[in-house]
Chains A and B, each alone.
Chain A
Amino acid sequence: MKPRVAFFDFASCEGCQLQIANLEEEILDLISIVDVVSFREVMKEHSDDYDIAFIEGSIMRPIDVQRLRKIRSHAKILVALGACATIGGINKIRNQWPAEEVKKEVYRDADIDGNEFFDAFQTKAVNEVVPVDYYIHGCPIDRDEFKHIVASLALGKKPEIPNYPVCVECKKNENVCLFELGKFCLGPITRAGCNAICPANGSACEGCRGILKKPQVECIMDVLKRYDLTYEEMKSRCTLYNYGREECK
């Protein structure tokens, strides 16, 4: 029997689900190996009977927590889909300020008191609320990696997610190192798996797949000095996707 699969969205742009919708003719392959029972972006049917739940988005409010826990209780396998879900991502930028201050800044005098839709706390990644079985990293996710993970799960194989930094992929692609072009790139400490798509196109890595490990301070200082970069450049780059993460403090 084909595994039953459902997609859910929390605080996100839903761009990761769009990546899946954009599989186009390969959608046919996808539905030949799994039954998609819920996918708001492409179908109106919905069922609570599923084996694998894909969760896009960050968790922001008590009602999100309730909904996520319910999904977790239905799903045999729960997969965090995209940076908002896997690491909190961009949604965590606002964790720099207390939630109340953020709400005041955004909604000003609007009457949101007691409205559960606006009852936001500090942003959480999915695994800060419920256990996550697998992660599909990236902002947005990489379609090839999504296919690899789904095919692996369908074969009963643990998907291989790179545990090494983007530099490996950059080198294999023979990209010119962005540090040598005077840019600060998070590739050396960011999980690979994106085939170094940003550096390959001349943009420094923003760390959307999560930071692997924190380098020694001495090492950071040496690198900044060697390439004439500032600590602030590094700090602001780490904030974009990885604010508050232990590895970035």
Chain B
Amino acid sequence: MTELKNVKIIAKKDFDSVVNNLIQDETYEIVGVKTRGKKFVFDILENASELCLNYDVTILPPKKYFLPQFEKLMDFNLEKPFDVKENEDDKPRIIIGMHPYDIIALEQMDKLYLDSQRDDFYKRRRDNTIIIGVDIQKVSERSFAASMNTHVTDSGFDLLLTNLGNIYAITIGSEKGRQLLQKHVATKNATDEDIKKVQEVHDILFSKYKRKVKIEKKDWSSFLVANYDHALWEERSDKCLGCSSCTMVCPTCFCYDVKDEVSLNLKDGKRIRTWDGCLLRDFTKIGSGEVFREDMRDRYRHRFFRKGNYLPERYGFVACVGCGRCGTACLPDIADPCDVMNELSQFETAEDTDRFFIKQKTTTSEKGTIHIPGEATIKRMKKLTEMETLFEIELDDKNPLNHKPGQFVEVSIFGIGEAPISVSSAPSNSSSFDIVVRKVGNVTSKLFTMKIGDKLGIRGPFGNGFDVESLEKKNLLFISGGIGMVPMRSLIDYVVDKNNRKKFKDITILYGCKRPCEVLFTDEVKKWEKVDNLICKMTVDQCDDGECWVGEVGLITTLFPKIKLDTADSKNTIAVVIGPPIMYKFVIQCLKTLGFPDENILVSLERRMKCGVGKCGHCQINGVYVCKEGPVFNYSQIRNLPEAFA
């Protein structure tokens, strides 16, 4: 029961004059619900008379004031690239008229954006905003908020209005709210009778909801997980236009993309964050052109799993607040979670709702800024092949990167953008590190035009990297295909280092490339071969007449018969596999034939790591964030993730 002293009573006309005073006062930007045609939107109020507090639902949720559709993260000047001006947004704002479901959605967003890798832009807006909620007076036709218990809330607001005829009951939710009220208007304390009326409003509201979800919120995960492969995903997604309107209007869709815009003078630029949607094909597309959720069914299903399984397992809330906006926005009307869950309700349930997560606890890197890159300089460039060049990068603060083998950095070139690139050198005390770049996307192509002394930005290191201690006292089998050797080198160089070599037993390196001209680090391979108890075998898929090649010819799997491993060895050997997506299936099959337990196989997977901090949503493999819990995985932990090796 709400405490009496926290509820005040105000006449409606007095509330209007408070709003008008606030508008005239100009300390705050005053935002409220207004009409747009027959619809409603949150927009700047010029007069209290514009305010419509008996609305059903707004087109977009008030999320736009915390994670705007387009948000300038920083200004830069291409001539002085690190003279970055961070966006100092916004005067303080008061948002009037947020419904409980939108308030609850915002509390969910706090969990993602205000975690240990906090988004400062979001935080600033959050701190700068006063939320005056309003209890729902008119239920939106598509809403099922009562089923989600989001039709009312007792937290997340500074003030909350409840319509009691000629008066509002105002529940005070924070000290900020109390002070605002005190400063602007004299209110009466609510009586027991008033409190009772507020409760009545809530009770009646519940009964006004016609749309109901047959599956309780806590059971969404269980129904979804059991029916991952159900035909309904295909059937429904056949009608999907792939327009992502459902995610655009959703108060709990928090994924974003970041782009650089440069003006026509090629000097001034800005880095912009904008909403992205997982229903769009390019959402999972990486620089080399690979799309990890190509099938519409997979994209369609992903949205429901994110709402009903991935976020709930990770954060403890179902990321649907039943506002019904997606149902309205989806033209073929296939996006409504209420419909989908009700269809699922007749099917079976699963016990292991954490099936699409990795169960081991990972040590996540908490380092690295989430938006502003650190300044770095290209120290050395070495062309390795026709396609790949090695860049030695030095951090300008002269501190070591402090990375682990297998981690990656976001390389940032102002005006072009950011790209995730594996660190290719072993950890060291030096302030420089290596990356090896294949020219595939915009950032990598630009890197090829740069020269020694040029500046670039570095965020990170990100990802888990290899747990090198767990490899100690083991035989090691490294299997790399193509540019999989790039991250592998950071690990090989670590274990062959004279200070570390004794910690590990026998080492075997298998390395396959398409053609002899694509082989990386040929000089280093020769050095590795001289290390004690180390065998290195190489193969190329194809070797044309006239090409010089002393290794094998054939796919990487042809190397397996050349290595001597009995079952006892396999049990005490850790295999590390890094290569193109197609390689994993075949190599893992070979390893199993050799008697490798799944636990002894490590892989490193490539996805679209954009933010590096588990927020932008692009790199997910089912419930797993590759940028945080990967890119290195123990095979036993991900073998059952349907999206891992699809």
A positions within 8 Å CB-CB of B: 26, 29-30, 32-33, 147-148, 150-152, 154-158, 160, 163-165, 167-168, 171-177, 179-181, 187-189, 213, 215-216, 218-219, 222-223, 226-227
Contact check, B332 vs A219: say whether CB atoms are below 8 A apart: yes
Given contacts A29-B265, A155-B415, A218-B239, contact A171 B329 (CB under 8 A): yes
**A176:B243 contact, CB within 8 angstroms:** no
Partner of B266 from A154, A174, A187, A226 at Cβ < 8 Å: A154
Interface presence of B531 (CB below 8 A): no
Question: B261: shortest Cβ distance to chain A, in Å?
Answer: 7
Chain A nearest CB from B451 CB (Å) reads 14
CB neighbours (8 Å) of A156 from chain B are 445-446, 449
Beta-carbon nearest neighbor of A185 in chain B: B331
Question: What is the CA–CA distance of A187 and B37 in the complex, to the nearest angstrom?
Answer: 19
Distance in angstroms from A194 CB to nearest chain B CB is 15
A-B residue pairs in contact (CB < 8 Å), sample of 21: A32-B265, A148-B261, A151-B263, A155-B262, A155-B416, A155-B446, A164-B243, A165-B241, A168-B244, A168-B277, A171-B59, A172-B70, A174-B36, A174-B41, A177-B329, A188-B243, A218-B238, A219-B240, A219-B241, A226-B331, A227-B331
B98 near A: Cβ within 8 Å? Answer: no
From 223 to 265 in chain B, residues with beta carbon under 8 angstroms from any chain A beta carbon are: 238-245, 248-249, 259, 261-265
Q: Inside 8 A of B212's CB, which chain A residues have their CB?
A: none
Q: Does B14 touch A at the CB level, under 8 Å?
A: no
Question: Could you tell me the distance between the alpha carbons of A46 and B38 in the complex, rounded to whole angstroms?
Answer: 55
Closest to B277 in A: A168
**B333 on interface, CB distance cutoff 8 Å:** yes
What residues of chain B lie closer than 8 Å to A180, measured between beta carbons? 39, 328
* Chain B residues with CB under 8 A of A179: 331
Leading 5 A-B pairs by shortest Cβ distance:
A171-B248, A167-B243, A29-B264, A219-B239, A172-B69
Point out the residues of chain B lying under 8 angstroms from A172, CB to CB. 69-70, 248, 274-275
Q: Are B249 and A171 in contact (CB under 8 A)?
A: yes
Q: Is the CB of A188 within 8 A of B331?
A: yes
- CA–CA, A110 and B572, complex, Å: 90
- List 8 other contacts, CB 8 Å, given A155-B262, A157-B416, A164-B280: A155-B266, A165-B241, A167-B248, A168-B245, A172-B274, A174-B41, A181-B37, A222-B333
Q: Which of A33, A163, A164, A213 is most buried by chain B, counting CB atoms within 10 A of its CB?
A: A164
B333 and A226 contacting across the interface, CB-CB below 8 Å: yes
B266 touches A167 (CB 8 A): no
Contact between B266 and A188, CB atoms less than 8 A apart: no
When the two chains form the complex, which single residue of A157, A165, A226 contacts B242, counting CB atoms closer than 8 Å?
A165
- Chain A hits for B37, CB < 8 A: 176, 181
Which residues from 493 to 547 on chain B have a C-beta closer than 8 Å to any C-beta of chain A? Answer: none
List residues 332-381 of chain B with CB under 8 A from any CB of chain A.
332-333
Task: Verify if B442 is at the interface (C-beta below 8 Å from A).
Answer: yes
Interface residues of B in 158-212 (CB under 8 A from A): none
Q: Considering the chains assembled together, what is the distance between the CA atoms of A173 and B380 in angstroms?
A: 46
Q: Is B60 located at the chain interface by the 8 A CB criterion?
A: yes
Partner of A216, one of B59, B239, B263, B275: B239
CB-defined contacts of B474 to chain A, threshold 8 Å: none
B281 within 8 A of A: yes
Is the beta-carbon distance between A222 and B239 smaller than 8 angstroms?
yes
Asked if B282 is at the interface of the complex by the 8 Å CB criterion, the answer is yes
Closest B residue by C-beta to A23: B264
Q: Which of B38, B241, B264, B266 has the most A CB atoms < 10 Å from its CB?
A: B264
How far, in whole Å, are A216 and B277 apart by their CA atoms in the complex?
Answer: 21
Contacts of B332 in A (CB 8 A): 215, 219, 222-223, 226
Most interface-central of B38, B60, B239 (chain A CB within 10 A): B239
Given A164-B243, A168-B280, A176-B36: A219 in contact with B265 (beta carbons within 8 A): no
Q: Which of B70, B243, B328 contacts A165 (CB 8 A)?
A: B243
Least CB distance from B418 to A in Å reads 13
B264 & A147 in contact (Cβ 8 Å cutoff): yes
> Which of B41-76 touch A at CB < 8 Å?
41, 59-60, 64, 69-70
Contact with A along B466-491 (1 / 0, CB 8 A): 00000000000000000000000000
Residue interface bits B600-635, CB-to-A below 8 A is 1, else 0: 000000000000000000000000000000000000
Q: How far apart are B199's CB and chain A's nearest CB, in angstroms? A: 34
Which chain A residues lie closer than 8 Å to B259 at the CB level? 160
